[in-house]
Structure 1
Amino acid sequence: MTLFSASAPRPLADRLRPRTLAEVVGQDHLLKPSGPVGRMVASHRLASMILWGPPGCGKTTIARLLADQTEFHFEPLSAVFSGVADLRKVFDAAKQRRGAGRGTLLFIDEIHRFNRSQQDGFLPYVEDGTVTLVGATTENPSFELNAALLSRAQVFVLNRLDDAALELLLTRAEAETRKKLPLDPDARQAVKAMADGDGRFLLNLCEELFALAPDKPLDTTTLIGTIQRRAPLYDKSQEGHYNLISALHKSVRGSDTDAALYWLARMLAGGEDPRFIARRLVRMAVEDIGLADPQALPQALAAWETYERLGSPEGELALTQCVIYMATAPKSNAAYSASKAAMRSARETGSLMPPMHILNAPTKLMKGLGYGKGYEYDHDTPEGFSGQNYFPDGMPRQNFYRPPERGFEREIRKRLDYWSKLRAQKAADPDAE
């Protein structure tokens, strides 16, 4: 620190950085004395860990405080700016420190940015205790980190800051500056919503608001026109992409129309390609609705085609209409389940031949071998149904498709039950007309 550094201006977020783990907001499930990290600190025994959570939830702060409160040397690196040479220097210094009886906490921000071989490079030093690794990531470690590294580190999930945690930060900001935020109650709530769970972003907004010094408290409309709204957190190639489409799909499956519309809006607001959503809607139509409403598939295809013709934003209304249609449609996965059951049976039974009576016999040789012998033409029967066996000889009859008593499949079930009854009657009395 230089002579003048103490008087240099510091951002509000830095001035309010917690000095103890007890001051960290929103992560009590990990940091309280009975929590897993709290217990480590109490015993002065740190295990390597991965801190997984959204931006602004305190990952870097927690790592620094862990080192302070356990008297480890804190060695920070960013995976964005560091390479193998930087890691070698850290490991060499850590070995010397270890020889003097002091441990090293190696904090790697955005650890998912290191490639697989770089991650493998940590393993010997983590394994022998040269460093205690604390990695921070916003991405799902299951997808981004090596299994070998994960087996040597505990993964702790940090929460997105909730309303109570964000309110506590606002109160601390007002105490630090000795000023009241120039906001009416609704605007104060709007500021927390704009932060979207990111404490650092919230404090940066506070600093901007304190600098405004308006004549009267801002209402929500004025607030939105005055400060920059935070872009929604959404990475189209990472976990957020899969989480939100899963939420949309399951909301449609669960017939929760309003929740489905919310997740659709979240994806569109985050910049998702509407064509990806359209493809998923087609899948929902065949996987979760099927023949309970045969119009679901044409609706999904029509919505996709409409979007292709109109583009954004007009074409997005067709996707909205399709989501509403499918969320309110009767649901059935009977066709999906039947397909999986039939595939499983096909794999188990191998290359069984069809029964001879349903094989074509275009040559005399084939006729002489019995191809087509005994086949009954269904249209020539009074019921339009012969009841013959179409499974391979020696294979018991299977029942893959079991339509529920919902939607159009109720009618299909009546037909299947009728044919099953006829089949049983014909099997009992083959000569009956």
Structure 2
Amino acid sequence: MTSNTPAEPPAKRRFGLLTAVCLVTGNIIGGGVFLLPATVAPYGTVSIVALAVLTVGAVALAVLFGRLAARTPVTGGLYVYPREAFGDFAGFVSVWSYWTMTWASNAALAVAAVGYLQVLLPVPGGAGWQALLALAALWLPALTNFAGLKYVAAAQIVSTVLKFLPLAVVALVGPFFVHAGNFGPFDATGQGVVPSMSAAAAILLYSYLGVESAAVSAGEVRNPKRTVIRAGVLGTVASAVVYLLGTFAVFGLVPHTALAGSSAPFSDALNAMFGGTAGGVVMAVAAVLSIVGALNGWILMSAQMPYAAAVDGLFPRVFTRTRRGVPWAGALIGVVLASVLILFNYLGGTGQVFRVLVLITSFTAAVPYLLSAAAQLHWLARGDREKVRGGRLALDVTVAGVSFAVSLWLIAGAGYAAVYQGTLFLAAGLLVHVWLSARRRVPATS
């Protein structure tokens, strides 16, 4: 039986503060933000309130992961913390759930690219062509990962800068063009404000996936005890400003009925601001670049946590294979699984592909968030000052408590179908855990 000592970080830490902030921001502001206003429009403008509440939770999670990473600055983050607090099984559940989230999220990102590619290209109709476009959007950034970590870092910085510019235009200039009549009803479902807000928040969580990026990659970050928390908070706050102002602008620029059926809501918003279609084309280019940049970072993330668990013997050994700083085998497996999920959802005739994938990822992301918050609460309750790095007890309790509550709220808001499918993914992982744990335990000899 292996010890609970986390995997050792690599000798060379390649990410400074700028790269870490870009990793967080680039992973948060991916393709999701470009499609999410249309996805949550059916719930009404209560979605904007849900986004504001979720922003508070996202900042709390960023602080939580920064505090946890300051004590254990190794690659693997959200797998390491539950394992140290509760043992191997909790660590496995966390890494399996997070790993499931990453490749399902990558599939959702690639699907989000399709709507904006159709603005730029004369793509034939039909699910088959859409599936091919989604696969192309997925595999292009995968090649960057296979080339090595320095290319991942460079691509992340460039794509983050390029995506921010047009989003900033909508977020900062768009509110001056809004029309009150476009917002539509506050609670469009008629089910009540709280249920509608919870359901919208479960979808909107997808827009904040990535707050943990610096913590998961802490083994690659220089001076992680300071850099991880700074990168997490700075990246999350910057993303939140763009999200809140941008979503408000889109809701006020595009009529509610049109927004609910839009496949490129930010393009529609720019067209409403300036007329014609040129603005929409610019936004579509930015959206595609943003999605490719986000996939560049998320493909790396899909490999790093399994790598840390595999080093400890809690994940299949194949995930330890690395090349030029990237666990290439894990990245390849994640891309293949995301490709299968894309084909299944498109060619299987599943409606609302993006929404289905987003809800699954929201549930599977909330599980390791919940376990990490529980780990911090565990150490605080024990009075283990070394574990929580001393001082600021009230702040740590508040941050961990808010993070735990938000994670639980998101699991509840994901809905029965998403929780059911996500639980099936977790249950399937039990067979892997049984097999690996049996191989790690050597029977005693008489």
TM-score category (smaller protein): under 0.3
> Which has the larger Rg?
1
Structure 2 length normalisation: TM-score?
Answer: 0.22
Structure 1 or 2: more strand by fraction = 1
Structure 1 or 2: more helix by fraction = 2
RCO higher in 1 or 2 (8 Å CA, sep ≥ 6)? Answer: 2
